[in-house]
Amino acid sequence: MAGIATAVTHPLDPLTATEIEEAAAIIRRECAGMERLRFPLLMLEEPPKEEVYRFERGDPISRRARATLLNRADGTAYEAVVSLNERRITSWRSLKGAQPPILMEEFAAVDELVKNDERWRSALRRRGVTDFDMVQVDLWSVGDFPIEGIDPNRRLVRAASYLRHAPTDNGYAKPIENVVAIVDLNENRVLKILDGEVVPLPPESGNYDAASVGELRTDLKPLDIVQPEGPSFSIEGSLLSWQRWSMRVSMHPTDGLVLHQVAYDDGGERRSILYRAALSEMVVPYGDGTDAFHWRNAFDAGEYGMGRNMGSLTLGCDCLGEIRYLDTVVADDDGRPTLCRNVVCIHEEDYSILWKHLDLSTGSSEVRRSRRLVVSCIGTLGNYEYGFYWYFYQDGHMEFEIKLTGVIQTRALPPGTVDDYGTIVSTDLSGVHHQHIFNMRLDFDVDGTANSVVEVDTVALPPGEANPHLNAFGGRETLLETEQQAQRIIDPLKARYWKIINPGRLNRFGRPVAFKLLPEASSLMLASPDSRVARRARFAQRHLWVTPCHADEMHAAGDYPNQSTGEAGLSVWTAQDRDIVDTDVVVWHTFGVSHIVRPEDWPIMPVERVGFQLLPVGFFDRNPSLDVAPPQPACHTGADCAE
């Protein structure tokens, strides 16, 4: 496995290729009777936080792997923890009633099974489709929607079909409406074909490649980003350092991009901010009430694995400038290591001005340009692309942004009809309204693990002695003391934000040091709380949740949302109403996009952005970017810069 790091220098380093091979071999040895054993997940078992904080360079490292296993012979699933130091399984439990995420091999298996099913072929012939090789088959998780005559405890998926006239066609231009296959993945068998009303195929192409578009713009001059001395950041294994920031970067098969131990060097003191930050879960519920669509929703992290679907990035296309890439290694369905090249992009960007002031009395001006560090990756889940971008700034704040693009989900309409659940984007073709709702798990350690969370609303002061002229306002702070109290919703009219404070460390003004979570305005899940998708995604009903840090509470909808009924996750854990004051807290932030589709989103969707910011609030005693050097003016046109 050339190109993958083989040395482990820190407890949080991802599993190496050798470690993946060893873990799988140990499991197979101790599970010799399971001849059809598959590995939906195989990854690092992250060590306890205390163990990581105690670690010093050169210390011995205890290495453990965690595996989710599926025995195809009887459909049972298990979790195992393997000690790589001791070369044995140290923990084993049955996942009774749980379905592991969809395996990569199951996508290809479903395509073949469906296309060879005579009932499916007959349904397509009714619609005038006879070249079955040109049909695109998309796999959909079934959720917990009942399917008449089928045991919900089976490992199931639904499959929808789209026609391509050429291999490179955009299949979503021609959905084959009202034909859905129900497939048992363990038995490798199509159980049922749901064949409804015949709807003609939409007539127009949806191709968007350069050859299909026609004449292209030619009036852009070259834009070169050059750093002749190389980038200003450094990478040592998984450790990334830049402009007083440091963090560990890795890829998790479910969560995708993970940052550990985000810290800032403040005058020689390495001050911790975040211990772990990653996507916890996301759900895409569709707003179409028809029989052919109402069941469509996807938990893209827990059902499919965000990290397993990350793509290799290309210089000049996905990334621009002086780029450094990180490779990753993932375990395939056999438990074998697979090298994935260039999945994380790291680079610097000029970001306009950092601060500026013109002194009108003296005419002097001081300005500094902002440069930011970008850590990003892009995953493809079916028809959608999700770009995950962390930005780090010289003034000590950070930002997380998700860029959504790809191809919208479509359905065919009978000629001349309108659609109550979508927007007409082409002749007899509708783009279906939907949401993308994300939840981020943010394990804060602001100058240590003993933190609290305070809600801050900006409100007008009541009339009286403190507000004699009726113009005064300020921040009203509320300490969130328990898990139930900390289930909160944004309020843009009050400029609401949440501060994560360390009551045990005060700044020079006597106030607890803090970072604030500044949310964007976004709606919560629009499906009724009594709907099946809402019961499985309770996290999507609040913008903020806070829990005490617990190693077994990592994913907002539970570790195994595939075919779940909503029996795990944030709503279950927070029912304990645990105390969250002056303790090791985890902040869970829900945000997203409610996508009322536009014609401009077809045939490929321009990027839409959503995210949040994390800003220091009294964490520093003054602006930490005062020491950024003044910019050096430069002109490249041959003209006088002053002119």
The per-residue pLDDT for 634 is: 65
Q: What is the mean pLDDT of residues 336-348?
A: 97
Q: Is the pLDDT of residue 641 over 50?
A: no
The per-residue pLDDT for 489 is: 98
Q: Is the pLDDT of residue 2 over 50?
A: no
The per-residue pLDDT for 438 is: 98
Within 10 angstroms of residue 497's Cβ, the number of other Cβ atoms is: 22
- Answer yes or no: are the C-beta atoms of 397 and 615 closer than 8 Å: yes
Q: What is the mean pLDDT of the chain?
A: 95
Residue 440 CA to residue 588 CA, distance in Å, equals: 6
Long-range contacts, stretch 261-264, CB < 8 angstroms, 24+ apart: 261/12, 261/52, 262/398, 264/396, 264/624
Q: What would the two tokens of residue 622 be?
A: 């003054």
The per-residue pLDDT for 539 is: 98
- Answer yes or no: are the C-beta atoms of 234 and 241 closer than 8 Å: yes
Q: What is the mean pLDDT of residues 7-24?
A: 96
Residue 276 CA to residue 581 CA, distance in Å, equals: 19
The per-residue pLDDT for 1 is: 38
pLDDT digits (tens, 9 = 90+) for 382-414: 999 999 999 999 999 999 999 999 999 999 999
Within 10 angstroms of residue 621's Cβ, the number of other Cβ atoms is: 12
Q: Is the pLDDT of residue 473 over 60?
A: yes
Preceding peptide of 603 cis, ω within 30°: yes
Residue 509, C-beta contacts closer than 8 angstroms, at least 6 positions apart: 618, 621
pLDDT category, 256, cuts 50, 70, 90?
very high
- Answer yes or no: are the C-beta atoms of 256 and 279 closer than 8 Å: yes
- Answer yes or no: are the C-beta atoms of 321 and 298 closer than 8 Å: no
Residue 53 CA to residue 639 CA, distance in Å, equals: 55
pLDDT category, 33, cuts 50, 70, 90?
confident
The per-residue pLDDT for 32 is: 87
Task: Return the DSSP state at 488.
Answer: B
pLDDT digits (tens, 9 = 90+) for 76-124: 999 999 999 999 999 999 999 899 999 999 999 999 999 999 999 999 9
pLDDT digits (tens, 9 = 90+) for 560-598: 999 999 999 999 999 999 999 999 999 999 999 999 999
Which SS3 state, helix, strand or coil, does residue 392 take?
strand
Task: Return the DSSP state at 14.
Answer: P
Residue 342 CA to residue 604 CA, distance in Å, equals: 24
pLDDT digits (tens, 9 = 90+) for 147-194: 999 999 999 999 999 999 999 999 999 999 999 999 999 999 999 999
The per-residue pLDDT for 7 is: 84
Q: Is the pLDDT of residue 608 over 70?
A: yes
Preceding peptide of 152 cis, ω within 30°: no
pLDDT category, 643, cuts 50, 70, 90?
very low
pLDDT digits (tens, 9 = 90+) for 501-551: 999 999 999 999 999 999 999 999 999 999 999 999 999 999 999 999 999
Which residues are catalytic, by number?
300, 384
Chain position carrying tokens 């970001």: 351
